[in-house]
Amino acid sequence: MKAVIMAGGRGTRLRPLTSHTPKPMVPLLNRPCMEYTIDLLKKHGITEIAVTLQFLPDAIRNYFGDGSAYGVSLVYFEETTPLGTAGSVKNCADFLDERFIVISGDTLTDMDLSAAISFHEEKEALATLVLTQVETPLEFGVVMTDESGRIIRFLEKPTWAEVFSDTVNTGIYVCEPEVLSYIEDNREVDFSKEVFPTFLSEGKPMYGYSADGYWSDIGSLAVYRQAQFDMLDGKVDLEIKAQEIAPRIYFENHVRIDSSVRLEGPVFIGENVHLQAGASIGAYSVLGSNTVVATGAQLSRAIIWENTLVGKKTEMTGATICRNVQIAQSVLMGEGAVIGDNCHLAAKSVVKAGVKIWPDKEVGESATVSTSLIYGAKQTKNLFGTNGIKGIGNVEITPEFVTRLAASYAYLLKAGSRIALSACTHPFAQLLKHSIMTSLCSSGIDTIDFGIGNAPLMRYGVRGLQCVGGIHVYMAEPVEEKEIVIQFVDQDGLPVSRDMERKIENAYWQETYVRTLHHLGELHVEHQVQQAYLRALMERIDLASIQRQRFRLLVECEPRFMPTFLAPLFESLGVTVQYGAIQSGVSKQGADLGVRLDKNGEQIALFSDRGEKLSAEQLIALQLLACSGQHSKIGLPVSAPMELEHLAQLLQLKVVRTKVTPRAMMEVAPEERFHPMFDAVYSLMRTLSYLAKEEKPLSFLLELLPACHMEKKTVFCPWASKGKVMRKMLEENKGKPLELVDGIKVYDSNGWVLILPDTEDSHVKVISQGATAETAATLASSYARRIAEYQ
């Protein structure tokens, strides 16, 4: 049995720890992470090991040598270009002439590899994935197996709505040599994205072994610290190679302690550390070799690498310090601060909580560092939510923030690319648009300013002017809450894909920017988008029929842009409009229709001539009727009732069931310039066209729409419990008809229930449909109770 240790990762999310250090060499209790992997393989009798290298390969090769000092034989395979996880293993093909195990050099685990290998042999598997359960599965591959352990579903890095379990792929694989024949030579190939999905689609014997024991992917600064705390707490079954001089107080050789030093376990003190008189080392501190802690310094939960000096009376709590750092006296360091290699912090300086300082920087005497030097900190949550980036204006969404965000976006584009920009009428939204414009142009990106607009106008203009993307900024309603929304669209005018969102987020967190003086972007102003949109819209409706009906509308909308934008359209159609609140009464105003348009022009609410508000299902049904003959294909979310699918089929509309996200529904027909469910004005015009054709009031037509009995509930669920809840939901409903397009949809004789984790809040949504309203309510309540119990 041989092994491959994957040791080529850059560990960008761990910067600045990994700026000068390969991720597998990041120390855990003063030993490289990869050393624990070698120990684990040796413990299970695996001593012939290939090591894949790419980033700073000599640091790994020089430290471990041929492996003889560790009781193993190491052979190195270096990549000159990135080959991906599977490509890296294929690069070792000459070495892998028998069954082998793949394991990461940057994870910490004590899992029973022998048991996983025995399971693999018993199942006669081509590949066996070692699985575990985690609280937050978003950064891993989520896996589902049948009763025998055979993998039946695999999804890499899902969104919360796609999470169907908390069981994930650990990146530890037991493979037969035949696996290599499925990997192309000298090409970037990934196990999770390409090889395993191929095995799944071709029905190859691929199994999942659910392992007990500790497993931690050292993928973030918080996890890096927690892994060492877990080691000190004895949660990991491994040898701590130091002397335990008192309960959970570990010393390596030649530690020097002066008088009145205070030690509170658990702590780890490395070789040749000097603790001077009066120093205080609090619980969960880890000091690397040759570190000096001067008189009166106070440390708590501090992780310090080798060759670092901590000056007199310096205080740090929850900080991480890399190697060769000089910290002068009376320095104050906040929780979560991270200091890179070779930095110098002068006396009385202050590093605020969460600040990261990249290697080779100096902080002057009495200086206060409140923002990261060179690179920014990763935020604790994703930037993107369901419908773009949201935050409180001038608090979370500031000009500084959008400048960095736009620069991150520009990094992913080719120089000279054209990006469209627009914003609502709010002065702060306009200000942010100009900050974005400046940042893009300074990065070599051309910008086209559409002026004041909304999301449908942005989508239309991007396609019409052949831009590679667009950004729209608006102040959401109610304005008193001051929530700013930033929406990105791609070259087709669709909301950017989740993959693109991740790329923007990664570039933002790493502050990977491009600034240039050689090719500054050009600024163009384009004020004809509104007129072009309206002209194209007029071509899609029956003008004469609408003009004959002389409709009277009561329209509620934002007061500054929409009335001006809509005025020429209503005038040409002979529609009389009164602007005001719907609560004033549609029938009282003598209107044929009440209309509420959201500020961003995407969502519409309709009220009949009798003042009845259309339900969400009635509105979609009306939109389907209004769009028949104009559209051939439409996306319906999995949350929509079956009756709407039947209605669409009667109208000869091809239906594709999709996730509930706007992009998923829109990309069913990406060639369409108007998307009825996300373009309020187009939806209104199509509705008027339909009503004019039928020559019946809306109240009459509502009675002809199919009856749908739906129930919706929102159940509180902590983020850490969502994966477990979804796994238990799957386990409980095994054998029932299931749909996993988005969340988990369970069918039974009484109807169906959709269980959908919220992507922005600590909630799970429950949507049900039944033959009667009571049935739907009972179904929803039943599953809501189970979600609460599963937590």
Report H helices in 719-772: 719-732
Is it the case that residue 381 has pLDDT exceeding 60? no
Instruction: For the chain, report the end-to-end CA distance as a whole number of angstroms.
Output: 41
Q: What is the pLDDT of residue 379?
A: 37
Q: What is the pLDDT of residue 268?
A: 97
Q: Kind of pairing, strands 751-757 and 744-748?
A: antiparallel
242 to each of 283, 600, 630, how far by Cα in Å? 17, 62, 75
Give the span between the Cα atoms of 791 and 780, in whole angstroms.
17
Q: What is the mean pLDDT of the chain?
A: 90
Q: What is the pLDDT of residue 527?
A: 87
Average pLDDT over residues 740-754: 90
Is it the case that residue 324 has pLDDT exceeding 60? yes
* Amino acid letter for position 564: T
Average pLDDT over residues 490-498: 94
630 to each of 403, 492, 654, how far by Cα in Å? 41, 19, 12
Say if 384-521 and 532-702 have the same CATH topology: yes
* Amino acid letter for position 438: T
Per-residue model confidence as pLDDT tens digits over 80-137: 888 888 889 999 988 998 999 999 999 999 999 999 999 999 999 999 999 988 877 6
pLDDT above 70 covers a percentage of the chain that reads 98
Per-residue model confidence as pLDDT tens digits over 607-645: 999 888 999 999 999 999 988 888 888 999 999 998 898
Q: Is the peptide bond prior to 478 cis by the omega test (within 30 degrees of 0)?
A: yes
Give the span between the Cα atoms of 93 and 83, in whole angstroms.
13
- Stretch among 1-5, 300-304, 534-538, 581-585 having the lowest mean pLDDT: 581-585
Q: Which helix (H) or strand (E) holds 785?
A: helix 773-790
Q: Are 252 and 289 in contact (CB under 8 A)?
A: yes
Q: Which residue, 423, 474, 478, is CA-closest to 452?
A: 423
Eight-class DSSP state of 566: H
What CATH number labels 709-790?
3.30.310.50
Quick one: three-class SS letters along 643-703? HHHHHHHHCCCEEEEECCCHHHHHCCCCCCCCCHHHCHHHHHHHHHHHHHHHCCCHHHHHC
Q: Are 99 and 79 in contact (CB under 8 A)?
A: no
2-217 fold: Spore Coat Polysaccharide Biosynthesis Protein SpsA; Chain A (3.90.550)
Name 138's Cβ contacts closer than 8 Å, sequence gap at least 6: 157, 158, 159, 160, 163
Q: What is the pLDDT of residue 613?
A: 92
Q: What is the pLDDT of residue 147?
A: 85
Give the span between the Cα atoms of 374 and 359, in whole angstroms.
9
Q: What is the pLDDT of residue 374?
A: 58
Banded model confidence at residue 513, pLDDT cuts 50, 70, 90: confident
Average pLDDT over residues 720-742: 88
What dihedral angle (degrees, nearest 10) is formed by the CA atoms of 674, 676, 680, 683?
Answer: 110
Residue with tokens 């109807």: 751
Give the span between the Cα atoms of 314 and 279, in whole angstroms.
10
Task: Extract the tokens encoding 261.
Answer: 């030093």
769 to each of 162, 180, 712, how far by Cα in Å? 21, 47, 9
Q: What is the pLDDT of residue 15?
A: 86
Residue 354 or residue 114, greater confidence: 114
Q: Which helix (H) or strand (E) holds 221?
A: helix 221-232
Is it the case that residue 376 has pLDDT exceeding 50? no
Q: What is the pLDDT of residue 569?
A: 92
Measured over the CA atoms of residue 734, residue 738, residue 740 and residue 746, the dihedral's sign is negative
Task: Extract the tokens encoding 260.
Answer: 């009145």
Q: What is the pLDDT of residue 596?
A: 94
Task: Extract the tokens encoding 269.
Answer: 């003190």
Q: Are 10 and 81 in contact (CB under 8 A)?
A: no
10 Å Cβ neighbour count for 89? 27
Measured over the CA atoms of residue 119, residue 120, residue 121 and residue 125, the dihedral's sign is positive
Q: Are 716 and 706 in contact (CB under 8 A)?
A: no
**Beta-carbon-side half-sphere exposure of residue 281 (alpha carbons within 13 Å):** 29
Give the span between the Cα atoms of 707 and 352, in whole angstroms.
59
Is it the case that residue 710 has pLDDT exceeding 60? yes
Q: Which residue, 228, 363, 355, is CA-closest to 284?
A: 228
DSSP three-state, residue 12 = helix
Is it the case that residue 375 has pLDDT exceeding 50? no
Q: Which residue, 431, 775, 459, 706, is CA-closest to 602?
A: 459
Q: Are 47 and 71 in contact (CB under 8 A)?
A: yes
Length of the chain, please?
A: 791
- Give Cα 236 distance to the centre of its chain: 29
Q: Are 547 and 410 in contact (CB under 8 A)?
A: no
Q: What is the pLDDT of residue 692?
A: 92
Q: What is the pLDDT of residue 378?
A: 34
Is it the case that residue 394 has pLDDT exceeding 90? no
* Amino acid letter for position 682: Y
Give the span between the Cα atoms of 71 and 77, in whole angstroms.
20
Full-prediction pTM beyond 0.85? Answer: no
Q: What is the pLDDT of residue 590?
A: 86
Classify each residue of 638-671 as buried b or exposed e, where b means 16 or more C-beta atoms within 10 Å of its C-beta.
bbbbebbeebbeeeebebebbbbbbbbbbbbbee
* Amino acid letter for position 288: G
What CATH number labels 532-702?
3.40.120.10
303 to each of 29, 38, 226, 271, 584, how far by Cα in Å? 9, 23, 11, 15, 64
Q: What is the pLDDT of residue 517?
A: 67
Measured over the CA atoms of residue 174, residue 180, residue 181 and residue 183, the dihedral's sign is positive
Banded model confidence at residue 213, pLDDT cuts 50, 70, 90: very high
For 120-148, give the DSSP string: HHHHT-SEEEEEEE-S-GGGSEEEEE-TT
DSSP three-state, residue 63 = helix
Does domain 242-369 fall under CATH 2.160.10.10? My reply is: yes
> Which CATH number, 3.40.120.10, 3.40.1310.30, 3.40.1190.20, 3.30.465.10, labels domain 384-521?
3.40.120.10
Per-residue model confidence as pLDDT tens digits over 450-464: 999 999 999 999 999
Average pLDDT over residues 178-182: 90
Q: Is the peptide bond prior to 706 cis by the omega test (within 30 degrees of 0)?
A: no
Average pLDDT over residues 28-39: 95
Where in the chain are the domains?
Answer: 2-217, 242-369, 384-521, 532-702, 709-790
DSSP three-state, residue 264 = coil
Is it the case that residue 720 has pLDDT exceeding 50? yes
Give the span between the Cα atoms of 458 and 526, in whole angstroms.
12
Per-residue model confidence as pLDDT tens digits over 248-297: 999 999 999 998 999 998 999 999 999 999 999 999 999 999 999 999 99
Q: Are 504 and 488 in contact (CB under 8 A)?
A: yes
